[in-house]
Amino acid sequence: MVIDCIPFFNELDILKLRLHILDPLVDRFVIEEATHTFSGLPKDLCFEKNREMFEEFLPKITYLVVDNSPEEISTHERDKFQKNALAKALTDASDEDVLILSDVDEIPNPAVLQELVKRFDPDKIYHLAQRNFYCYLNMEEVSGNLLSITGEFPGVERRMWLGTKVFAKKNIPESGIIDLREISPEDPRSVRVADGGWHFGYMGSCHETDVSRRVGTKVVAAAHQEYNTEDVLAEVKDRLILGEDIFGRNAVFQWAVVDESYPQYLLEHKSEYDYLIMPPISRGKKAFVKIWMLIKRFCRKVRRRIRRIL
């Protein structure tokens, strides 16, 4: 049996994409959703409210609601607490079952996953090396500097996002299933799997098409509250157009063509995801955005000074 374990926030569109892509290979989907964000704010159960969107998959779905998140813990501890609840749905899993663990936006390449399942070794932990996109399906990080918490394997020339983990139940540590995301590439059980899929980060939402509002909702809810600032949220689209990381990290983003290297389901339903595809970016537009961004920064500084005076 192949079981896909998915922590879920509000990314209805990305969840729909994932389910359609992996449905032919997966026997059961375990979806975990919490009543509070990682930052501790109350939230609606987005999947529950939109269950009809996934009617064709419901026979395969085990839906877990985490409604007991502790209050007096850090954002990162709350993140782990909620995601570790996924293991509650795995009590009947055997050590021969293939378990997939990744955030909803880290989608395995189905062709590669199919081959992995055929040669699956329950003593190994497979790290799927994935292309990394932010905010739009075709804005790709190309420097290799923006990595998952796993890092990368030594000596790899083109560093990728090691998001999805594939493993057997016996490899789940006592500290919780989510700690598998921190397993070192140098662990003797670790195996890197090339062409492992796509990380479509910061783009899923609950019926929101505006990129700044999509990102803003995620940032306010996220464990990384250091990014929850006025400047970050005001410059999301501008930074992307300029090929910069939305959080100001050392990364480079390039516009990409949505071609045969993308999931087949996405290509066949591209019109449904038009709002997640960045149009071509001209040099003139980049020049305009750069100047306009500087003007807006100046205006924000002036407003802050006025507020301090008043």
Taking residues 27-46, report their average pLDDT: 95
**Alpha-carbon span 15 to 145, nearest angstrom:** 26
Across the chain, what does the average pLDDT equal? Answer: 94
H helices of 222-263, in order, are 230-234, 236-241
**Alpha-carbon span 97 to 90, nearest angstrom:** 10
Domain boundaries, the chain: 2-201, 211-309
Residue 223's pLDDT is 62
Q: Long-range contacts made by residues 87-91, C-beta under 8 angstroms, separation at least 24?
A: 87/172, 87/176, 87/177, 88/64, 89/5, 89/30, 89/62, 89/64, 90/3, 90/5, 90/30, 90/169, 90/172, 90/177
Q: Are strands 28-34 and 125-134 parallel, antiparallel or unpaired?
A: unpaired
> pLDDT by residue (tens digit) across 72-130?
899 889 999 999 999 999 999 998 999 999 999 999 999 999 999 999 999 999 999 99
pLDDT band at 184 (very low <50, low <70, confident <90, very high): very high
CA nearest neighbour of 255 among 137, 139, 146: 139
pLDDT band at 226 (very low <50, low <70, confident <90, very high): confident
CA nearest neighbour of 223 among 99, 54, 39: 39
In the chain, what percentage of residues exceed pLDDT 70?
Answer: 100
DSSP H or E segment with residue 299: helix 283-309
pLDDT band at 291 (very low <50, low <70, confident <90, very high): very high
Say yes or no to pLDDT of 220 above 90.
Answer: no
Say yes or no to pLDDT of 179 above 90.
Answer: yes
CA nearest neighbour of 232 among 241, 221, 223, 220: 220
Residue type, 42: P
Please name the fold of domain 2-201. Spore Coat Polysaccharide Biosynthesis Protein SpsA; Chain A (3.90.550)
Say yes or no to pLDDT of 218 above 90.
Answer: no
Q: Are strands 125-134 and 161-167 parallel, antiparallel or unpaired?
A: antiparallel
End-to-end CA distance of the chain: 64
